[in-house]
Structure 1
Amino acid sequence: MKNIRGQLKKAGKWLLIASGGLFLLFLLLQWLFPLPDQVEYSTIITDSKGEVVHAFLTKDEKWRMKTSLDEISPLLRKTIIEKEDQYFYYHPGVNFLAIGRAMAKNVFRLKRTSGASTITMQVARALEPKRRTYFNKFIEIFRAFELEWKYSKDEILQLYLNLVPYGGNIEGVKSASTLYFNKNPDHLSLAEITALSIIPNRPSSLVMGKNNDLIVKERNRWLRKFAADKVFTEKEIQDALSEPLNATRDVVPKLIPHLAWRLRKQGGDIIATNIEMNTQTRVEKLVEDYARSLRLKNIRNAAVVIIDNQTHKVVTYIGSSGFYDTLDAGQVNGAAAIRQPGSTLKPLLYGLCMDEGLMTPKAVITDVAVNYEGYAPENYDKQFNGYVTMEYALEHSLNIPAVKGLKMFGKDKLVQKLAACDFRQIKKDQKKLGLSLILGGCGATLEELTGLYSSFAHEGKYFKPQYTRSVDGAPATEEAGSQKGYTVMSPAATFMINEILSKVNRPDFPLNWQSTEHMPKIAWKTGTSYGRRDAWSIGYNKNYTVGIWVGNFSALGIPELSGANVATPLLFKVFNTIDYDSDQEWFTQPKDCESRIVCSETGMVPGEHCHNTVTDFFIPLISSTAPCNNMQEVMISPDEKLAYCRICMPQAGYKKKWYKTVSAEMQQYYDEHHIAYEKIPIHNPNCEKVFAGGAPAITAPRHGAEYLISSKHPEPLQLTCQTGNDVSKVYWYINNKFYKTAEAKTKQFFIPEEGPVKISCTDDKGRNRDVWITVKYVNM
């Protein structure tokens, strides 16, 4: 008895050593021959419901779409395991009893009549295809153990469903269900799953769409076997047996092509978008029809981006009016193309100026000719408007007040805000940008502008638009951005901008728009780029932000192209389609925004001489509280021909009078437009005061500029300046030599000598200003 126990103990010891040795050998072989499990899948794009809307072939020209774990429905799992490997969840990758049974049958019948490949072994064979020999069978068994060691059973089943062949270049159940049944695997019926499951056994003779009768016959044989084995209920089997098979190979969906190609670059097997196909298809039809109506004007393309403001998801993305339109470069992605944004950045600038205390909606700005070191912006209509309020300037999209606002706020600060809102080209070009930035002298995309405008619907907080979402619990393939958001503007400034942009009695309201009876209330801004190459209209309410671009990908300028008349009608059509007759409440006035009475002539807190007032919004502790300076008291002679300062004021024989404060630039505007105003008399010529400030500002020529003049036909240069209200005459000097005496507001001309030229201007108070220019004569 002791000898038997000793022998058993010794045998157990050797068995343990042998097992350990085999395990170590397995680990060594695994290290020497790693599992070839790097599978290339077709990149597939899905919509918000998980349906495949676009896909791309693999490098080896296969449709191999990855089936996610949540798409393996209980019905699919149960059917495949029952047919292929009933003991899948119980064996270690190899069913030794099945192998023994198959070997016995093959030996006694002297031919191969039965196989014993488990699902795991079939995966191993699919990963590393080899000829069917006994040696390769051992390799297959080893690979099966490797798979079981590395993956869970559900993951192995997922690999099987991803790799199983279904005829031609179709691999995987998702590819088969999409191409044959136009649905996802988790929506397949028992009859459809069974029909698909038999194709891999005879892919050449069981071709879907060609041999459907034979497939149905084989399918029904397996269904009856399932019934005999009590796998499914009798009713389930009968329903499956009676289901017809009308499937044929279809083409892979090629929807949302512009977004699909854009997202493909970031990589990933399954890229799940937030596109709502119902909205996408309706808006696509709108864009296609609208673009067709514009072709008589030689305007051929449009792009649309729609963001759901409740979730920050991009629900519609249209890059052109027709992706397959080869005549008009339909494959160009207009939503991602860098274009000049026109006036679309003005609302942001004005909102930021209000946050800095520089403006309020009723603040008055001068819309007159200006020159910033040679940059002289012009309004769209080439006209000037004199005194305007900030809200008027925004409603009418005036250029000069916007440039003045940017000068006050600071170009670099605006660029920093835009860079934080993901304006990539602006961030890249920030050192090269100037004041023309606010008029569209920069590069931006429809994606970026629509994302920026969505911040107006979130009290000034910018949330990065979400193009994608996570799959199988994995992070989204594209960063969705912080859910905390980036504060672009205060809620108060945002509310004031929303109020201005939501008015319908605006000059950019399209004249050819038929009806707004059922259109939801929206705020919107238009823009037209230089040369009329791009027309923009971007609108929003609490539900959606819609960005519209209309133009030609060739950058051809069209005289009829404008944001108001071309882009805005499409914006209204889109809102009427996606938010028809919406009664969504509008944005409410935040706590940090209050109302006050201001002077209507300056927008400042009324002074004792302010008789006309209006109500204005303002931000407490931020907006300026300086009293109105619209009037100034001047000491004048009894005949009102001379003005005195406190130095030259006589002890008697003078009187005091109030005059409106008129800046030098407004005096020039009034004079040029023959607008009468009460002028302050000229200053006492006998005054001995030395005027240190208020020297004339030479507006032409520009200081530091280089001028090229034709030597054959030289043209004179213009001399202009801006002076104070009390200046009547100025004296011009060229290279320190007296040139001419002139009225303060008149233009003079001269032909300069070649080389550096000094130009001086002295007013009748003795105040002087110098500029230097360089002149070159050329043959032209």
Structure 2
Amino acid sequence: MTASGRHNSSSCPGLSRASMSSFAPRRQDVDGRDGPGHDGVLGRRQIRTFAIALAFVCVSSIGALAAWVASLGPLPLAQAQQVSTSVVDRNGKLLRAYAMADGRWRLPVDSRTGVDPGYIKLLLAYEDRRFPTHPGVDPLALGRAALQLVTRGHIVSGGSTITMQLARLIEPRRERSVGAKLRQVVRAVQLERQLNKDQILDLYLALAPFGGNLEGVRAASLGYFGKEPKRLSLAEQALLVALPQSPETRRVDRHPEAARTARNRVLERMVAEGVVSAEDAAQATMVAVPKLRKPMPVLAPHSADQAIASMKDAPVIALTLDSGLQKVLEALARDRALALGPDLSVAIVAVDNESGDVLAHVGSPDYFDERRAGQVDMTRAVRSPGSTLKPFIYGLAFEDGFVHPESLIDDRPIRFGSYAPENFDMSFQGTVPVRKALQLSLNVPAIELLDRIGASRLSSRLKQAGANLVLPKDEAPGLAMGLGGVGVTLKDLVQLYSGIARLGSSKPLREIVWRDDVREPLRLMDQVAAWHVGNVLIGTPPPENAVHNRIAFKTGTSYGYRDAWSVGFDGRITIGVWVGRPDGAPVPGLVGRTAAAPILFDAFARTGKLPAPLPRAPRGTFVASNAKLPLPLRRFRPAGELVRSGAEQALRIQFPLNGSRIEAASGGENRFSALPVKVAGGVLPMTMLVNGVAVGEIDGRRQRLIDPPGAGFVRLTVQDATGAADTVVVRIQ
């Protein structure tokens, strides 16, 4: 036989030394015939028979091995790749994770960006130094382990590669046997063929056991060190390398001394192999091993719960929140709630004006505080808004053009049927500028303006801007909604105020990052009116010790001292604060200005940025003192009280009546019949305006036909030669 013949026979699986000896060839007889000679050699026929038998055994063994490998089936990667659901912020930082159904913590890991490179270097040097180059199995490591076992009588180092260990984690073995090791080898080769090295390392770092219900380096780093594994000290790196080898006997919360010994053994070996310097290792061995588990992060728990309910099967859910701002505002809510009292809760929402993204969402001071009903999200609770809707009344009044921030308005006792509004302090200021009436949150002027605008119109406009107003069953919008007689949530209120900051167009709030998310702006009021409202609110006297003219804000207190509100904005963000009891019980002395406004200003301070300036005045903005205003704008007069100049009869629109609904459809799509306008009094010539745009003059009979601009509310204004004017708002349908 040739040398190659010996190699082929010895490499055939399933052949033992005994079977080989039975087929050992013998030399030919002297006469060259086949058959046994006196010295026991074989002839050509016996050699041929031996070769055929050898080939049969090899083919049978290879076939059996192939059949066994095929019987293993595909790798169960889908189950192995299941992880705990993670909720992250706009920058990918972990806000909250949820344990898997069986209670295990297993978080996805990116070895290139999410783990300290020093830990990766230490892990590969200790466990699998040829990981980047071997095909899943390292023959040199297996040979070294076998030699150490033979020469020393016990296992000194394992021969398993990272890939083989991953195979064992994917398919846990019940026993230690040659068959189990062979299965591990086959699975390792399969892994290397299906995944690249980065994917294999990521999967190993997510599945490696670290004791108890912690799986993966990320869960272990959070559970033992309270931080992500992006920056680990040498002592922490060595501990995380040592734990997976015997995770239960080295659990730091049960066997800290064993964990410390194993960590130091890793450091000693790394020093011996030149991976770590002796000085660094000596310092690392002096570091104490943590003895207690740390709680997993629970930031923005209400947002996370809502996200989980909306996207049940997503392993990672990205929110628009900023974890830094969320953290400081949660601390602010917790501190202020403790100072206010044991039953009071605080909720805060911060929104980016430009995008409508929610940057912080604090539903309660403490998610786990049962007394405060901490798991109830008070940002979505429907509560009475108090006076916080007043800026929108003034905004529509500015939009309609019958009042200006410098117009004078009377704050005096007045009655609307059986309803007689009173101010919070039960006093009256007399005649004041509209600007001051809003800044002081006077009730009577706000109700008078609302009566002129129409409560139904205010309600429709706020709903059009995205707010869901809740009225008592079977009750229509009334004047009381201007003082809080309607239900609204903090999130909707913040959305409305961000619309003022955006110069009249609100944007639906977004908290979960969707792939296809197109949100069109919603109309709140015109740009000039929104600018006037912001310009007035920025002059509102701030809480004690706060800086003036930095934040445009408004406060509110609901009836019975049940809810205290404060909502404010600068040129960048809008923040809303609610304070009260989750059960709706009254809290004597709970006032928005003293309870909620200080929290609002503190929240702006904790953003870490100076308040951004409000937008500049849009084109067409009329800024003037009261003395320079047109005569009709110098003083507000309720509906029915006409402006008179000299002895002439005051100008008045006789038809249509203010607040009326007019059927003007002519049958065609979006086509309306002409609308007649009739005027009494006034001095010719008179100008007709529709929604503030001049459309011509009133004729000598004091009437004119106009073409309605479309369905919806239309503002009709007539101005005479003396500057006197009258305005009505009608609804075309």
Over 3 Å counting, the alpha-carbon distance change for 1:524 and 1:245 in structure 2 is: same
Letter matched to residue 541 of structure 1: D
Q: How does 1:72-221 map to 2 (within 5 A)?
A: 72-95=115-138, 98=141, 115-132=158-175, 133-208=177-252, 211-221=255-265
2:385 paired with 1:341: yes
For 1:212 and 1:692, how far apart are their aligned partners in 2?
Answer: 88
Q: Deviations over 1:328-375 (max 9, x none)?
A: 32332222323233332332454355456565435678995446xxx9
2:118 paired with 1:57: no
Aligned to 1:12: none
For 2:195 and 2:325, how far apart are their aligned partners in 1?
Answer: 40
Over 3 Å counting, the alpha-carbon distance change for 1:526 and 1:136 in structure 2 is: same
Over 3 Å counting, the alpha-carbon distance change for 1:67 and 1:110 in structure 2 is: same
Q: Deviations over 1:164-185 (max 9, x none)?
A: 1111222111121122222211
Whether the aligned pair in 2 keeps the contact of 1:491 and 1:592 (CA below 8 Å) is no
Whether the aligned pair in 1 keeps the contact of 2:205 and 2:217 (CA below 8 Å) is yes
2:595 paired with 1:566: yes
Aligned to 2:696: none
For residue 531 of structure 1, report the CA deviation from its aligned partner: 4.5
For residue 498 of structure 1, report the CA deviation from its aligned partner: 0.7
Whether the aligned pair in 1 keeps the contact of 2:83 and 2:106 (CA below 8 Å) is yes
For 2:317 and 2:74, how far apart are their aligned partners in 1?
Answer: 35
Over 3 Å counting, the alpha-carbon distance change for 1:632 and 1:488 in structure 2 is: closer
Over 3 Å counting, the alpha-carbon distance change for 1:629 and 1:439 in structure 2 is: closer
For residue 321 of structure 1, report the CA deviation from its aligned partner: 3.6
For 1:307 and 1:143, how far apart are their aligned partners in 2?
Answer: 51
Aligned to 1:245: 288
Over 3 Å counting, the alpha-carbon distance change for 1:577 and 1:223 in structure 2 is: closer
The sequence identity of aligned pairs, in percent, is 29
Aligned to 2:574: 545
For 2:135 and 2:142, how far apart are their aligned partners in 1?
Answer: 13
- Give the alignment partner of residue 555 of structure 1, picking from 578, 584, 594: 584
Other structure's SS at 1:525 match: strand
Aligned to 1:502: 538
Whether the aligned pair in 2 keeps the contact of 1:369 and 1:384 (CA below 8 Å) is no
Over 3 Å counting, the alpha-carbon distance change for 1:411 and 1:589 in structure 2 is: closer
Over 3 Å counting, the alpha-carbon distance change for 1:303 and 1:279 in structure 2 is: same
Over 3 Å counting, the alpha-carbon distance change for 1:391 and 1:341 in structure 2 is: same
Other structure's SS at 2:77 match: coil
Aligned to 1:595: 623
Q: TM-score, normalised by structure 2?
A: 0.65
Whether the aligned pair in 2 keeps the contact of 1:206 and 1:212 (CA below 8 Å) is yes
Q: Deviations over 1:181-220 (max 9, x none)?
A: 2221111123321221111112233232554454444334
For 1:211 and 1:693, how far apart are their aligned partners in 2?
Answer: 86
Letter matched to residue 553 of structure 2: W
Whether the aligned pair in 1 keeps the contact of 2:459 and 2:469 (CA below 8 Å) is no
Other structure's SS at 1:157 match: helix
Over 3 Å counting, the alpha-carbon distance change for 1:226 and 1:115 in structure 2 is: closer
For 1:77 and 1:532, how far apart are their aligned partners in 2?
Answer: 59
Unaligned 5+ residue runs, structure 1? 5-17, 469-475, 617-627, 634-656, 664-690, 698-723, 726-780
Q: TM-score, normalised by structure 1?
A: 0.62
Aligned to 1:680: none
Q: Deviations over 1:305-342 (max 9, x none)?
A: 23465886655443234444333323322223232333
- Give the alignment partner of residue 269 of structure 2, picking from 225, 240, 246: 225
Letter matched to residue 404 of structure 1: D
Whether the aligned pair in 2 keeps the contact of 1:365 and 1:401 (CA below 8 Å) is no
For 1:66 and 1:524, how far apart are their aligned partners in 2?
Answer: 43
For 1:315 and 1:27, how far apart are their aligned partners in 2?
Answer: 53
Between stretches 286-295 and 103-112, larger displacement belongs to 103-112
For 2:94 and 2:507, how far apart are their aligned partners in 1?
Answer: 27
- Give the alignment partner of residue 644 of structure 2, picking from 623, 631, 635: 631
Whether the aligned pair in 2 keeps the contact of 1:76 and 1:186 (CA below 8 Å) is no
- Give the alignment partner of residue 488 of structure 2, picking from 422, 444, 454: 444
Count of matched residue pairs: 586
Aligned to 1:533: 562
Whether the aligned pair in 1 keeps the contact of 2:127 and 2:161 (CA below 8 Å) is yes
Aligned to 1:671: none
For 1:519 and 1:159, how far apart are their aligned partners in 2?
Answer: 55
Q: Deviations over 1:593-650 (max 9, x none)?
A: 23357789xx7x43xxx8x959x9xxxxxxxxxxx961167xxxxxxxxxxxxxxxxx
- Give the alignment partner of residue 553 of structure 2, picking from 519, 524, 528: 524
Aligned to 1:414: 461
Other structure's SS at 1:185 match: coil
For residue 400 of structure 1, report the CA deviation from its aligned partner: 2.4
Over 3 Å counting, the alpha-carbon distance change for 1:430 and 1:599 in structure 2 is: farther
Whether the aligned pair in 1 keeps the contact of 2:353 and 2:571 (CA below 8 Å) is yes
Q: Deviations over 1:390-449 (max 9, x none)?
A: 646544353524543652883574155332xxx4x4499999863466554544322332
Whether the aligned pair in 2 keeps the contact of 1:305 and 1:548 (CA below 8 Å) is yes
Unaligned 5+ residue runs, structure 2? 5-59, 661-679, 682-733
For 1:520 and 1:101, how far apart are their aligned partners in 2?
Answer: 76
For 1:230 and 1:50, how far apart are their aligned partners in 2?
Answer: 36
Q: How does 1:421-436 map to 2 (within 5 A)?
A: 423=467, 425-426=468-469, 434-435=477-478
Whether the aligned pair in 1 keeps the contact of 2:253 and 2:291 (CA below 8 Å) is yes
Over 3 Å counting, the alpha-carbon distance change for 1:566 and 1:299 in structure 2 is: farther
Aligned to 2:529: 493
Which has a greater percent of strand?
A: 1
Letter matched to residue 552 of structure 2: A
For residue 92 of structure 1, report the CA deviation from its aligned partner: 3.5
For 2:561 and 2:584, how far apart are their aligned partners in 1?
Answer: 9
Aligned to 1:740: none
2:563 paired with 1:515: no
For residue 252 of structure 1, report the CA deviation from its aligned partner: 1.1
For 1:370 and 1:27, how far apart are their aligned partners in 2?
Answer: 89
For 1:415 and 1:81, how far apart are their aligned partners in 2?
Answer: 61
Aligned to 1:742: none
Over 3 Å counting, the alpha-carbon distance change for 1:492 and 1:131 in structure 2 is: same
For 2:400 and 2:69, how far apart are their aligned partners in 1?
Answer: 68
